[in-house]
Amino acid sequence: MVNLVPIGTKTTLKGTGEGFSSWYDHIYVNAVATRERTEKGGASDVVAGLNISTAMARREVSDHLPVWAEFRTDGTDDD
């Protein structure tokens, strides 16, 4: 298994104040079987994306940031 969210990526919002906190959220795939992975992944900054405060993001969206990973879709087995 391999985690596609880079080690140390902050994936939660601070409980008080502005900013990010801990690395809790992950995307695990089978390292051998998932050849489509590109090794690119991370967490989306909804605070900046929505132009809102950390407190509002925690209240209205979530205290966790959306995590993402990139996969290739142009292989012969992807039809």
- State the pTM of this model: 0.84
Ramachandran bin of 8, using left for φ above 0, alpha for ψ from -120 to 50, beta for the remaining angles: left
Q: Tens digits of per-residue pLDDT, 2-44?
A: 999 999 999 999 998 899 999 999 999 999 998 899 999 999 9
C-beta of residue 45 within 8 angstroms of C-beta of residue 66: no
For residue 78, pLDDT beyond 80: no
pLDDT for residue 79: 56
Q: What is the DSSP letter of 25?
A: -
Kindly state the tokens that stand for 20: 């990010």
For residue 77, pLDDT beyond 80: no
